[in-house]
Chains A and B, each alone.
Chain A
């Protein structure tokens, strides 16, 4: 079967750095997405990786290793507004999106 694993919850301190991991087992691979979802709101796109390596976008970076079935989202200089759930999703051989359950990130002052 197809599976996406992420930690359920993480806690970090304002101003610090946090890494949210995602491992996947899917039928084929056509890209990996990270979305941010604030409580009570719709998910919004953060990043996309299809080749191995690091994609940097401001305070947020996303890394992919296809051989290991592994990605992480790195958030730097954490702000209180970064408190949200972070969803990992993989596009399989048929371009269907497989979603992880999300990681709830709690930022403390």
Chain B
């Protein structure tokens, strides 16, 4: 596709359930980021994938959070045993080359997660 695609756009779940969020980056982009954004707040880094390198998981808030990426393609963010504090918008972004001179991020529209 032309841009970064995320699905679902909205997800309502019950506390304790697992959820899986999907991100399709722009074709050819080697770098992929997941961010969390709570209402009225800035971007909170979660995890970053760069090509075939080991992902940077330093932003994952707990072991309930995990993410995978298939090659330089689709990524899924999984939240197990969801809690109410997990409610937020989850944004995915991709970039052609993280160490390029000025490589900007292209963001998806996000998944609004609501945990009841």
CB within 8 Å of B: which residues of A? 31, 33, 35, 41-45, 48, 50, 87, 89, 95-97, 99-102
B12 CB within 8 Å of chain A: no
- Inter-chain residue pair count (beta carbon < 8 A): 42
CB within 8 Å of A: which residues of B? 33, 41-43, 45, 48, 56, 91, 98-99, 101-102, 104-110
Minimal beta-carbon separation of B29 from chain A (angstroms): 14
Instruction: Name which residue of chain B comes closest to A103, CB basis.
Output: B42
**Interface hub of B33, B41, B104 (most chain A Cβ within 10 A):** B104
**Interface hub of B41, B42, B45, B91 (most chain A Cβ within 10 A):** B42
Taking chain B's interface residues, is the majority helix, strand, or loop, or is none over half, making it mixed? loop
Instruction: Name which residue of chain A comes closest to B56, CB basis.
Output: A96
Chain B residues whose CB sits within 8 angstroms of the CB of A31 once the complex forms = 101-102
Chain B residues whose CB sits within 8 angstroms of the CB of A95 once the complex forms = 98-99
Q: Is B104 a contact of A45 with CB atoms below 8 Å?
A: yes
User: With A31-B102, A48-B102, A50-B102 in contact, is A99–B43 under 8 Å at CB?
Assistant: yes
What separation, in Å, do the CA atoms of A95 and B41 have in the docked complex? 23
Minimal beta-carbon separation of A31 from chain B (angstroms): 6
Q: Is A99 a contact of B45 with CB atoms below 8 Å?
A: yes
Q: Is A42 a contact of B107 with CB atoms below 8 Å?
A: yes
What separation, in Å, do the CA atoms of A99 and B104 have in the docked complex? 13
Minimal beta-carbon separation of A37 from chain B (angstroms): 9
Chain B residues whose CB sits within 8 angstroms of the CB of A43 once the complex forms = 43, 91, 105, 107
Q: Is A96 a contact of B48 with CB atoms below 8 Å?
A: yes
Chain A residues whose CB sits within 8 angstroms of the CB of B108 once the complex forms = 42
Chain A residues whose CB sits within 8 angstroms of the CB of B102 once the complex forms = 31, 48, 50
What separation, in Å, do the CA atoms of A87 and B42 have in the docked complex? 8
Q: Is A41 a contact of B109 with CB atoms below 8 Å?
A: yes
What separation, in Å, do the CA atoms of A43 and B43 have in the docked complex? 10
